[in-house]
Structure 1
Amino acid sequence: MFAPQGPTVRELAVQALSSVERGYDLLAPKFDHTPYRTPDRVLDAVTHTLAALGPFGRGLDLCCGTGAGLDVLRAVCHGRIAGVDFSAGMLEVGRARGGPDADRVRADARALPFRDAFDLVVSFGAFGHFLPAERPGLFAQVRSVLAPGGRFAFPVAAPARPGSLGYWTLLGFDTAMRVRNALWRPRFVMYYRDFRLADVRAELADAGFRVDLYALEELGRRPDGSPRCRLVVATAR
Protein backbone atom coordinates (compact mmCIF):
# COMPACT_ATOMS: atom_id res chain seq x y z
CA MET A 1 0.00 0.00 0.00
CA PHE A 2 1.16 3.61 -0.78
CA ALA A 3 4.39 2.33 -2.43
CA PRO A 4 5.74 -1.10 -3.36
CA GLN A 5 7.99 -1.00 -0.28
CA GLY A 6 5.21 0.24 1.99
CA PRO A 7 2.92 -1.67 4.36
CA THR A 8 0.11 -3.87 3.12
CA VAL A 9 -3.53 -3.34 4.08
CA ARG A 10 -3.26 -6.31 6.43
CA GLU A 11 -0.18 -4.86 8.12
CA LEU A 12 -1.89 -1.50 8.56
CA ALA A 13 -4.94 -3.20 10.08
CA VAL A 14 -2.75 -5.02 12.63
CA GLN A 15 -0.96 -1.77 13.47
CA ALA A 16 -4.24 0.14 13.83
CA LEU A 17 -5.53 -2.44 16.34
CA SER A 18 -2.39 -2.10 18.48
CA SER A 19 -1.41 0.62 20.93
CA VAL A 20 0.23 3.73 19.51
CA GLU A 21 3.66 2.57 20.67
CA ARG A 22 3.28 -1.00 19.41
CA GLY A 23 1.71 0.19 16.16
CA TYR A 24 4.71 2.37 15.37
CA ASP A 25 7.12 -0.40 16.38
CA LEU A 26 5.45 -2.59 13.75
CA LEU A 27 5.28 0.14 11.12
CA ALA A 28 8.87 1.34 11.61
CA PRO A 29 10.63 -0.72 8.90
CA LYS A 30 8.25 0.63 6.23
CA PHE A 31 7.36 4.01 7.74
CA ASP A 32 9.50 6.06 5.36
CA HIS A 33 7.56 4.58 2.42
CA THR A 34 4.21 5.91 3.66
CA PRO A 35 2.55 9.35 3.49
CA TYR A 36 2.95 9.56 7.28
CA ARG A 37 6.57 10.64 6.89
CA THR A 38 6.78 14.43 6.71
CA PRO A 39 7.31 15.39 3.05
CA ASP A 40 10.70 16.79 2.08
CA ARG A 41 9.10 19.99 0.77
CA VAL A 42 7.72 20.71 4.26
CA LEU A 43 11.08 19.96 5.87
CA ASP A 44 12.83 22.20 3.34
CA ALA A 45 10.39 25.08 3.93
CA VAL A 46 10.84 24.84 7.69
CA THR A 47 14.62 24.72 7.28
CA HIS A 48 14.56 27.86 5.15
CA THR A 49 12.52 29.79 7.71
CA LEU A 50 14.53 28.63 10.71
CA ALA A 51 17.80 29.40 8.96
CA ALA A 52 16.75 33.05 8.82
CA LEU A 53 16.04 32.99 12.59
CA GLY A 54 19.22 31.15 13.60
CA PRO A 55 21.78 29.87 13.83
CA PHE A 56 20.99 27.74 16.85
CA GLY A 57 23.15 25.73 19.20
CA ARG A 58 21.76 22.42 20.44
CA GLY A 59 18.63 20.95 18.84
CA LEU A 60 15.98 18.34 19.68
CA ASP A 61 13.49 16.63 17.36
CA LEU A 62 10.45 15.86 19.55
CA CYS A 63 8.68 12.60 18.60
CA CYS A 64 11.37 12.10 15.98
CA GLY A 65 10.23 8.78 14.53
CA THR A 66 12.83 7.55 12.04
CA GLY A 67 14.52 10.96 12.10
CA ALA A 68 13.38 13.02 9.11
CA GLY A 69 13.32 16.18 11.26
CA LEU A 70 16.93 15.66 12.31
CA ASP A 71 17.98 16.86 8.86
CA VAL A 72 16.37 20.21 9.68
CA LEU A 73 18.41 20.42 12.88
CA ARG A 74 21.59 19.47 11.03
CA ALA A 75 21.04 22.42 8.72
CA VAL A 76 20.35 25.09 11.36
CA CYS A 77 22.15 23.93 14.52
CA HIS A 78 25.90 24.06 15.18
CA GLY A 79 25.72 22.10 18.45
CA ARG A 80 24.80 18.54 19.33
CA ILE A 81 21.42 17.35 18.06
CA ALA A 82 19.10 14.65 19.40
CA GLY A 83 15.82 12.94 18.69
CA VAL A 84 13.38 11.57 21.25
CA ASP A 85 10.58 9.07 20.63
CA PHE A 86 8.76 6.39 22.63
CA SER A 87 8.86 3.80 19.82
CA ALA A 88 11.94 1.60 20.06
CA GLY A 89 11.26 0.35 16.53
CA MET A 90 11.27 3.83 15.01
CA LEU A 91 14.47 4.74 16.85
CA GLU A 92 16.16 1.53 15.73
CA VAL A 93 15.36 2.23 12.08
CA GLY A 94 16.56 5.81 12.51
CA ARG A 95 19.87 4.67 14.00
CA ALA A 96 20.41 2.27 11.12
CA ARG A 97 19.75 4.93 8.49
CA GLY A 98 21.14 8.04 10.21
CA GLY A 99 24.61 9.28 11.01
CA PRO A 100 26.47 9.23 14.33
CA ASP A 101 26.05 12.96 14.86
CA ALA A 102 22.61 12.62 16.50
CA ASP A 103 21.65 11.05 19.82
CA ARG A 104 18.42 9.07 19.74
CA VAL A 105 16.70 8.71 23.10
CA ARG A 106 13.71 6.55 23.96
CA ALA A 107 11.36 8.51 26.21
CA ASP A 108 7.78 9.74 26.50
CA ALA A 109 7.42 13.34 25.34
CA ARG A 110 5.24 13.94 28.40
CA ALA A 111 8.19 13.15 30.69
CA LEU A 112 11.36 14.32 28.94
CA PRO A 113 14.68 13.32 30.54
CA PHE A 114 16.41 16.66 29.95
CA ARG A 115 16.53 20.09 31.60
CA ASP A 116 17.57 23.38 29.97
CA ALA A 117 19.44 21.31 27.41
CA PHE A 118 18.42 22.73 24.02
CA ASP A 119 18.24 25.98 22.08
CA LEU A 120 15.76 24.69 19.49
CA VAL A 121 13.06 22.01 19.63
CA VAL A 122 11.20 21.00 16.46
CA SER A 123 8.37 18.56 15.91
CA PHE A 124 6.62 17.25 12.81
CA GLY A 125 3.23 15.56 12.58
CA ALA A 126 3.09 14.19 16.11
CA PHE A 127 0.52 16.29 17.96
CA GLY A 128 -2.49 14.24 16.88
CA HIS A 129 -1.25 11.54 19.24
CA PHE A 130 -1.88 13.76 22.26
CA LEU A 131 -5.34 14.46 23.64
CA PRO A 132 -6.19 18.15 24.10
CA ALA A 133 -6.03 17.75 27.88
CA GLU A 134 -2.44 16.49 27.56
CA ARG A 135 -1.11 19.41 25.53
CA PRO A 136 -0.54 21.89 28.39
CA GLY A 137 1.66 19.33 30.13
CA LEU A 138 3.44 18.52 26.88
CA PHE A 139 4.19 22.19 26.22
CA ALA A 140 5.40 22.62 29.79
CA GLN A 141 7.80 19.72 29.21
CA VAL A 142 9.15 21.38 26.07
CA ARG A 143 9.57 24.65 27.97
CA SER A 144 11.55 22.82 30.66
CA VAL A 145 14.12 21.43 28.20
CA LEU A 146 14.77 24.77 26.49
CA ALA A 147 17.53 27.13 27.55
CA PRO A 148 16.41 30.73 28.24
CA GLY A 149 15.30 32.28 24.96
CA GLY A 150 15.15 28.89 23.25
CA ARG A 151 12.59 28.22 20.54
CA PHE A 152 10.00 25.54 19.86
CA ALA A 153 9.01 25.32 16.19
CA PHE A 154 6.50 23.20 14.28
CA PRO A 155 4.46 23.57 11.07
CA VAL A 156 0.67 23.78 11.11
CA ALA A 157 -1.36 23.37 7.92
CA ALA A 158 -4.38 25.58 7.29
CA PRO A 159 -7.62 23.77 8.19
CA ALA A 160 -9.53 22.19 5.35
CA ARG A 161 -12.49 24.24 4.21
CA PRO A 162 -15.89 22.85 5.33
CA GLY A 163 -17.41 20.76 2.57
CA SER A 164 -14.11 20.15 0.78
CA LEU A 165 -12.72 16.69 0.08
CA GLY A 166 -9.99 17.27 2.64
CA TYR A 167 -12.57 18.26 5.25
CA TRP A 168 -14.67 15.12 4.75
CA THR A 169 -11.59 12.89 4.59
CA LEU A 170 -10.27 14.23 7.90
CA LEU A 171 -13.70 14.05 9.51
CA GLY A 172 -14.15 10.47 8.33
CA PHE A 173 -10.75 9.45 9.66
CA ASP A 174 -11.39 11.14 13.01
CA THR A 175 -14.80 9.47 13.31
CA ALA A 176 -13.35 6.05 12.46
CA MET A 177 -10.67 6.45 15.13
CA ARG A 178 -13.20 7.44 17.76
CA VAL A 179 -15.42 4.45 16.93
CA ARG A 180 -12.37 2.16 17.01
CA ASN A 181 -11.33 3.48 20.42
CA ALA A 182 -14.84 3.13 21.80
CA LEU A 183 -14.91 -0.54 20.83
CA TRP A 184 -11.31 -1.70 21.16
CA ARG A 185 -8.46 -1.58 23.66
CA PRO A 186 -5.71 -0.49 23.77
CA ARG A 187 -6.59 2.90 22.33
CA PHE A 188 -4.82 4.36 19.31
CA VAL A 189 -4.94 8.13 19.72
CA MET A 190 -4.72 10.03 16.44
CA TYR A 191 -7.13 12.98 16.39
CA TYR A 192 -5.73 15.72 14.18
CA ARG A 193 -8.95 17.74 14.06
CA ASP A 194 -8.45 18.60 17.75
CA PHE A 195 -5.22 20.51 17.03
CA ARG A 196 -6.61 24.02 16.50
CA LEU A 197 -4.16 26.88 16.12
CA ALA A 198 -6.05 29.35 18.32
CA ASP A 199 -6.17 26.84 21.19
CA VAL A 200 -2.53 25.88 20.72
CA ARG A 201 -1.36 29.51 20.79
CA ALA A 202 -3.18 30.08 24.08
CA GLU A 203 -1.75 26.90 25.60
CA LEU A 204 1.78 27.84 24.54
CA ALA A 205 1.37 31.28 26.10
CA ASP A 206 0.19 29.69 29.34
CA ALA A 207 3.29 27.44 29.29
CA GLY A 208 5.60 30.46 29.18
CA PHE A 209 6.12 31.09 25.47
CA ARG A 210 5.83 34.10 23.18
CA VAL A 211 4.28 32.87 19.93
CA ASP A 212 5.05 34.09 16.41
CA LEU A 213 3.76 32.74 13.11
CA TYR A 214 5.66 32.58 9.81
CA ALA A 215 4.08 31.77 6.46
CA LEU A 216 5.86 28.91 4.71
CA GLU A 217 5.71 30.54 1.30
CA GLU A 218 7.28 27.57 -0.49
CA LEU A 219 4.08 25.62 0.24
CA GLY A 220 1.86 28.18 -1.47
CA ARG A 221 -1.25 30.14 -0.60
CA ARG A 222 -4.96 29.43 -0.75
CA PRO A 223 -7.30 31.25 -3.15
CA ASP A 224 -8.09 33.83 -0.44
CA GLY A 225 -4.39 34.65 -0.10
CA SER A 226 -3.84 32.96 3.26
CA PRO A 227 -0.85 30.60 3.59
CA ARG A 228 -1.42 26.90 3.19
CA CYS A 229 0.98 26.24 6.02
CA ARG A 230 2.50 28.31 8.83
CA LEU A 231 5.45 27.72 11.09
CA VAL A 232 4.68 28.25 14.76
CA VAL A 233 7.76 29.58 16.55
CA ALA A 234 7.32 29.72 20.32
CA THR A 235 10.10 31.50 22.22
CA ALA A 236 10.70 30.66 25.87
CA ARG A 237 10.17 33.74 28.00
Structure 2
Amino acid sequence: MDDDEQRVTRRAVAEAETRRASRGWWDRDADDYQAEHGEFLGDVDFVWCPERLREADARLLGEVRGRRVLEVGCGAASAARWLATEGAHAVGLDLSAGMLRHAREATARSGVRVPLVQGDALALPFPDAAFDIACTAFGAIPFVADSAAVMAEVFRVLRPGGRWVFSVTHPMRWIFPDDPGEGGLRVIHSYFDRRPYVEQDPDGVPTYVEQHRTLGDRIRELVGAGFALRNLVEPEWPDGHEQVWGQWSPLRGRLFPGTAIFVCDKPAG
Protein backbone atom coordinates (compact mmCIF):
# COMPACT_ATOMS: atom_id res chain seq x y z
CA MET A 1 0.00 0.00 0.00
CA ASP A 2 1.46 3.39 -0.99
CA ASP A 3 1.50 6.56 1.12
CA ASP A 4 -1.61 8.02 -0.55
CA GLU A 5 -3.61 4.87 0.19
CA GLN A 6 -2.41 4.84 3.79
CA ARG A 7 -3.66 8.40 4.26
CA VAL A 8 -7.27 7.64 3.22
CA THR A 9 -9.56 5.72 5.55
CA ARG A 10 -13.11 5.46 6.88
CA ARG A 11 -13.27 5.91 10.65
CA ALA A 12 -15.03 7.83 13.40
CA VAL A 13 -13.66 11.31 14.07
CA ALA A 14 -14.55 13.48 17.06
CA GLU A 15 -16.20 16.87 16.56
CA ALA A 16 -13.15 18.88 17.65
CA GLU A 17 -10.90 16.97 15.23
CA THR A 18 -13.47 17.39 12.48
CA ARG A 19 -13.65 21.16 13.03
CA ARG A 20 -9.87 21.56 12.98
CA ALA A 21 -9.59 19.45 9.83
CA SER A 22 -12.33 21.36 8.01
CA ARG A 23 -11.03 24.79 8.90
CA GLY A 24 -7.45 23.84 8.04
CA TRP A 25 -8.41 22.13 4.77
CA TRP A 26 -10.52 24.99 3.43
CA ASP A 27 -7.94 27.58 4.48
CA ARG A 28 -5.21 25.66 2.63
CA ASP A 29 -7.35 24.67 -0.36
CA ALA A 30 -9.18 27.97 -0.89
CA ASP A 31 -6.93 29.20 -3.70
CA ASP A 32 -6.96 25.89 -5.58
CA TYR A 33 -10.71 25.49 -5.12
CA GLN A 34 -11.46 28.92 -6.52
CA ALA A 35 -8.99 28.46 -9.38
CA GLU A 36 -10.76 25.23 -10.35
CA HIS A 37 -14.40 26.12 -9.67
CA GLY A 38 -14.62 29.90 -9.41
CA GLU A 39 -15.59 30.45 -13.04
CA PHE A 40 -18.34 27.80 -12.82
CA LEU A 41 -19.77 29.35 -9.64
CA GLY A 42 -19.37 32.97 -10.75
CA ASP A 43 -18.89 36.05 -8.60
CA VAL A 44 -22.62 36.85 -8.45
CA ASP A 45 -24.68 33.70 -9.01
CA PHE A 46 -26.43 30.98 -7.02
CA VAL A 47 -25.53 27.53 -8.36
CA TRP A 48 -26.93 24.71 -6.26
CA CYS A 49 -24.79 21.85 -7.53
CA PRO A 50 -22.39 20.51 -10.19
CA GLU A 51 -25.46 19.68 -12.29
CA ARG A 52 -25.66 23.48 -12.74
CA LEU A 53 -29.12 23.97 -11.28
CA ARG A 54 -29.36 27.71 -10.59
CA GLU A 55 -31.63 29.41 -8.07
CA ALA A 56 -32.57 31.91 -10.78
CA ASP A 57 -34.36 29.03 -12.50
CA ALA A 58 -35.36 26.73 -9.62
CA ARG A 59 -36.61 29.37 -7.14
CA LEU A 60 -36.41 26.92 -4.26
CA LEU A 61 -36.09 29.75 -1.74
CA GLY A 62 -39.34 31.40 -2.78
CA GLU A 63 -39.60 35.18 -2.70
CA VAL A 64 -36.34 36.70 -1.42
CA ARG A 65 -36.89 40.43 -1.99
CA GLY A 66 -36.90 42.20 1.35
CA ARG A 67 -36.16 38.94 3.20
CA ARG A 68 -33.31 38.41 5.65
CA VAL A 69 -31.28 35.51 4.24
CA LEU A 70 -28.36 33.61 5.81
CA GLU A 71 -25.98 31.65 3.58
CA VAL A 72 -24.38 29.02 5.84
CA GLY A 73 -20.95 27.80 4.72
CA CYS A 74 -20.91 30.51 2.08
CA GLY A 75 -17.38 29.96 0.75
CA ALA A 76 -16.69 32.85 -1.61
CA ALA A 77 -20.30 34.02 -1.07
CA SER A 78 -21.34 34.17 -4.73
CA ALA A 79 -24.85 33.02 -3.72
CA ALA A 80 -25.18 35.68 -1.02
CA ARG A 81 -24.17 38.37 -3.52
CA TRP A 82 -26.70 37.07 -6.06
CA LEU A 83 -29.37 37.18 -3.36
CA ALA A 84 -28.45 40.79 -2.66
CA THR A 85 -29.00 41.68 -6.33
CA GLU A 86 -32.46 40.10 -6.01
CA GLY A 87 -33.32 42.49 -3.19
CA ALA A 88 -32.57 40.23 -0.21
CA HIS A 89 -30.77 41.34 2.95
CA ALA A 90 -28.17 38.58 2.70
CA VAL A 91 -25.40 37.57 5.12
CA GLY A 92 -22.62 35.07 4.35
CA LEU A 93 -21.10 32.91 7.11
CA ASP A 94 -18.15 30.55 6.81
CA LEU A 95 -15.65 28.87 9.14
CA SER A 96 -12.71 29.37 6.78
CA ALA A 97 -10.76 32.61 6.69
CA GLY A 98 -9.27 31.48 3.37
CA MET A 99 -12.66 31.21 1.71
CA LEU A 100 -13.83 34.51 3.20
CA ARG A 101 -10.72 36.15 1.73
CA HIS A 102 -11.96 35.04 -1.69
CA ALA A 103 -15.41 36.38 -0.79
CA ARG A 104 -13.90 39.81 -0.15
CA GLU A 105 -11.94 39.67 -3.40
CA ALA A 106 -15.09 38.77 -5.35
CA THR A 107 -16.92 41.61 -3.62
CA ALA A 108 -14.25 44.01 -4.84
CA ARG A 109 -14.51 42.67 -8.41
CA SER A 110 -18.30 42.69 -8.55
CA GLY A 111 -19.10 45.73 -6.45
CA VAL A 112 -21.89 43.73 -4.73
CA ARG A 113 -21.44 43.90 -0.97
CA VAL A 114 -22.89 41.64 1.70
CA PRO A 115 -21.93 41.27 5.37
CA LEU A 116 -19.45 38.43 5.87
CA VAL A 117 -19.11 36.62 9.20
CA GLN A 118 -16.51 34.07 10.24
CA GLY A 119 -18.35 31.57 12.40
CA ASP A 120 -19.28 27.98 13.15
CA ALA A 121 -22.50 26.44 11.84
CA LEU A 122 -22.76 24.52 15.12
CA ALA A 123 -23.00 27.79 17.06
CA LEU A 124 -24.45 30.43 14.74
CA PRO A 125 -23.57 33.90 16.10
CA PHE A 126 -27.08 35.30 15.62
CA PRO A 127 -30.13 35.74 17.86
CA ASP A 128 -33.27 33.65 17.67
CA ALA A 129 -35.57 34.32 14.70
CA ALA A 130 -33.01 36.60 13.04
CA PHE A 131 -33.63 35.36 9.46
CA ASP A 132 -36.50 34.62 7.11
CA ILE A 133 -34.52 32.16 4.95
CA ALA A 134 -31.36 30.07 5.40
CA CYS A 135 -29.56 28.20 2.65
CA THR A 136 -26.34 26.49 1.69
CA ALA A 137 -24.99 24.80 -1.43
CA PHE A 138 -22.72 22.05 -0.15
CA GLY A 139 -21.58 24.18 2.79
CA ALA A 140 -21.02 23.13 6.41
CA ILE A 141 -23.36 20.12 6.64
CA PRO A 142 -21.05 17.43 5.16
CA PHE A 143 -18.13 18.70 7.24
CA VAL A 144 -19.45 18.45 10.82
CA ALA A 145 -19.79 15.33 12.93
CA ASP A 146 -23.12 16.43 14.43
CA SER A 147 -25.17 17.68 11.49
CA ALA A 148 -28.35 17.31 13.56
CA ALA A 149 -27.00 20.15 15.71
CA VAL A 150 -26.65 22.31 12.59
CA MET A 151 -30.31 21.69 11.79
CA ALA A 152 -31.26 22.73 15.32
CA GLU A 153 -29.17 25.91 15.08
CA VAL A 154 -30.70 26.88 11.75
CA PHE A 155 -34.16 26.23 13.18
CA ARG A 156 -33.33 28.54 16.08
CA VAL A 157 -32.23 31.51 13.94
CA LEU A 158 -35.20 31.24 11.54
CA ARG A 159 -38.45 33.04 12.24
CA PRO A 160 -41.64 30.94 12.33
CA GLY A 161 -42.63 30.28 8.72
CA GLY A 162 -39.01 30.60 7.58
CA ARG A 163 -37.44 28.39 4.93
CA TRP A 164 -34.29 26.22 5.05
CA VAL A 165 -32.87 24.83 1.79
CA PHE A 166 -29.59 22.96 1.46
CA SER A 167 -27.80 20.80 -1.08
CA VAL A 168 -25.44 17.93 -0.30
CA THR A 169 -23.90 15.02 -2.16
CA HIS A 170 -26.69 12.53 -2.80
CA PRO A 171 -26.35 9.78 -0.15
CA MET A 172 -26.41 6.98 -2.73
CA ARG A 173 -23.14 8.34 -4.19
CA TRP A 174 -21.34 6.97 -1.13
CA ILE A 175 -21.65 3.40 -2.39
CA PHE A 176 -19.43 4.23 -5.39
CA PRO A 177 -15.77 5.30 -5.57
CA ASP A 178 -14.99 8.97 -6.31
CA ASP A 179 -14.29 8.32 -9.97
CA PRO A 180 -16.07 10.25 -12.76
CA GLY A 181 -15.30 7.48 -15.27
CA GLU A 182 -16.24 3.84 -15.76
CA GLY A 183 -14.58 2.92 -12.46
CA GLY A 184 -17.13 5.09 -10.69
CA LEU A 185 -19.96 2.77 -11.72
CA ARG A 186 -18.87 -0.04 -9.38
CA VAL A 187 -20.49 -0.46 -5.96
CA ILE A 188 -17.73 -0.84 -3.35
CA HIS A 189 -19.20 0.59 -0.10
CA SER A 190 -22.25 -0.15 1.99
CA TYR A 191 -24.87 2.58 1.90
CA PHE A 192 -25.33 1.98 5.63
CA ASP A 193 -21.67 2.50 6.56
CA ARG A 194 -21.85 5.92 8.21
CA ARG A 195 -18.16 6.20 9.01
CA PRO A 196 -16.82 9.41 7.45
CA TYR A 197 -14.32 9.59 4.63
CA VAL A 198 -11.05 10.72 6.22
CA GLU A 199 -7.75 11.92 4.82
CA GLN A 200 -5.01 12.04 7.44
CA ASP A 201 -1.35 12.92 7.74
CA PRO A 202 1.40 10.35 8.48
CA ASP A 203 0.74 10.77 12.21
CA GLY A 204 -2.92 9.87 11.81
CA VAL A 205 -4.20 13.43 12.31
CA PRO A 206 -7.26 14.10 10.11
CA THR A 207 -6.69 16.75 7.44
CA TYR A 208 -10.03 16.33 5.62
CA VAL A 209 -13.26 14.80 6.91
CA GLU A 210 -16.51 14.37 5.01
CA GLN A 211 -19.55 12.82 6.66
CA HIS A 212 -22.12 10.40 5.25
CA ARG A 213 -25.79 10.25 6.21
CA THR A 214 -28.54 8.22 4.55
CA LEU A 215 -31.69 9.88 3.22
CA GLY A 216 -33.53 8.59 6.27
CA ASP A 217 -30.90 10.08 8.57
CA ARG A 218 -31.32 13.50 6.97
CA ILE A 219 -35.10 13.39 7.28
CA ARG A 220 -34.86 12.35 10.95
CA GLU A 221 -32.43 15.23 11.61
CA LEU A 222 -34.82 17.72 10.04
CA VAL A 223 -37.94 16.39 11.74
CA GLY A 224 -36.06 16.17 15.03
CA ALA A 225 -35.13 19.84 14.77
CA GLY A 226 -38.77 20.77 14.11
CA PHE A 227 -38.74 21.31 10.33
CA ALA A 228 -41.36 20.20 7.84
CA LEU A 229 -39.83 18.72 4.68
CA ARG A 230 -41.57 20.21 1.63
CA ASN A 231 -39.52 18.83 -1.24
CA LEU A 232 -36.50 16.69 -2.07
CA VAL A 233 -34.96 17.72 -5.38
CA GLU A 234 -32.63 15.33 -7.24
CA PRO A 235 -31.33 17.38 -10.19
CA GLU A 236 -30.95 15.49 -13.45
CA TRP A 237 -27.84 15.95 -15.55
CA PRO A 238 -28.77 18.49 -18.25
CA ASP A 239 -28.23 17.97 -21.96
CA GLY A 240 -25.17 19.75 -23.29
CA HIS A 241 -23.44 19.96 -19.89
CA GLU A 242 -20.10 18.18 -20.34
CA GLN A 243 -18.07 19.64 -17.47
CA VAL A 244 -16.55 17.23 -14.93
CA TRP A 245 -16.45 18.37 -11.30
CA GLY A 246 -14.57 15.89 -9.12
CA GLN A 247 -16.65 12.71 -9.14
CA TRP A 248 -19.55 14.42 -10.97
CA SER A 249 -19.58 13.74 -14.70
CA PRO A 250 -21.99 13.38 -17.61
CA LEU A 251 -21.45 9.60 -17.56
CA ARG A 252 -22.49 9.14 -13.94
CA GLY A 253 -24.95 12.03 -13.83
CA ARG A 254 -27.12 10.53 -16.56
CA LEU A 255 -27.38 7.23 -14.66
CA PHE A 256 -27.95 8.19 -11.00
CA PRO A 257 -28.31 11.36 -8.93
CA GLY A 258 -25.28 13.19 -7.58
CA THR A 259 -27.02 15.88 -5.52
CA ALA A 260 -29.91 15.99 -3.05
CA ILE A 261 -31.54 19.34 -2.25
CA PHE A 262 -33.78 19.46 0.83
CA VAL A 263 -36.47 22.15 0.95
CA CYS A 264 -37.84 22.67 4.46
CA ASP A 265 -40.02 25.13 6.38
CA LYS A 266 -40.12 26.07 10.04
CA PRO A 267 -43.82 25.75 10.91
CA ALA A 268 -45.49 29.11 11.37
CA GLY A 269 -47.25 27.91 14.50
Deviation at 1:74, TM superposition (A): 3.6
If asked which structure has higher relative contact order (CA below 8 Å, sep 6+), I would say 2
> Where is the helix percentage greater, Structure 1 or Structure 2?
1
Q: How do 1:188-203 and structure 2 match up within 5 A?
A: 188-192=207-211, 194-203=212-221
| Residue 95 of structure 1 pairs with residue 109 of structure 2 | no
TM-score (norm 2): 0.65
Going from structure 1 to structure 2, the CA distance change for 1:209 and 1:161 (only over 3 Å counts) comes to closer
**Aligned partner of 1:117 among 127, 130, 139:** 130
Q: Which residue of 2 aligns with 1:54?
A: 63
Aligned to 1:26, which of 22, 28, 32? 28
Distance 2:199 2:174 in 1: 24
* Normalised TM-score (structure 1): 0.72
Q: Could you tell me which amino acid in structure 2 is paired with residue 205 of structure 1?
A: V
Structure 2 stretches of 5 or more lacking a match?
1-19, 42-46, 178-182, 239-252
Q: Aligned-pair distance for 1:46?
A: 3.8
Matches within 5 A, 1:204-219: 204-215=222-233, 217=235, 219=237
For residues 86-137 of structure 1, give each alpha carbon's deviation from its aligned partner in whole angstroms, at most 9, with x where no partner exists. Answer: 1112111111112443111011111111121111111122322112xx1121
State the distance in 2 between where 1:195 and 1:176 align: 9
What 5-or-longer segments of structure 1 have no aligned partner? 1-17
Q: How many residues align?
A: 212
C-alpha distance in 1 between matches for 2:27 and 2:234: 32
Alignment of 1:184 with 2:204, yes or no, is: yes
Question: In the superposition, relative to structure 1, how do residues 54 and 144 fare at CA in structure 2: closer, same or farther (>3 Å)?
Answer: same
**What is the SS of the residue equivalent to 1:160?**
helix
Query: Superposition RMSD on alpha carbons, in Å?
Result: 3.6
Quick one: structure 1 residues 161 and 205, their matched pair in 2 at CA, closer, same or farther if it must change by over 3 Å? closer
The share of aligned pairs that are identical, in percent, is: 23
Q: What is the DSSP-based 3-state SS (H/G/I as helix, E as strand, rest coil) of the residue aligned with 1:234?
A: strand
